[in-house]
Amino acid sequence: MATVASSLKIVPSLAADPISEAAVVGLTKSLAADYTASNIRVNAICTGTVDSPRLHERWHITVDFEAARRAFIGRQPTGPSRGRERVLISPFIWLTQPI
């Protein structure tokens, strides 16, 4: 998934994130161009950071969990989404509806 945060500020030691995000955005644009004549929509949902178990795992592997959490949130203007995975459901449902 592409995230807005890494598009604005690159974080050291996480090269895979912006690389994969750029690939998803590029693939989405290419497929949209390829299938527009067939009336097929191609979209990507750019979630940003979601407060998830994976995020907490990343904080726990550091020496100081609380310092890691504060530093991570400090790099993001709005912090991680507190709605967790539920925040993502509505856009996915909307995008799967017929045109």
pTM: 0.57
Q: In the chain, how many domains are there?
A: 1
pLDDT for 77: 66
Boundaries of domain holding 40? 4-95
| pLDDT given for residue 5 in this prediction | 42
Phi, psi of 11 (to 5 degrees): -105, 130
39-68 residue pLDDT tens? 888 888 877 677 778 888 888 888 888 888
Would the pLDDT of 81 be above 70? no
Going by pLDDT thresholds of 50, 70 and 90, the confidence category of residue 91 is confident
Query: What values do phi and psi take at 81, rounded to 5?
Result: -60, 125
* CA dist list (Å): 73 to 39, 47, 49: 40, 15, 10
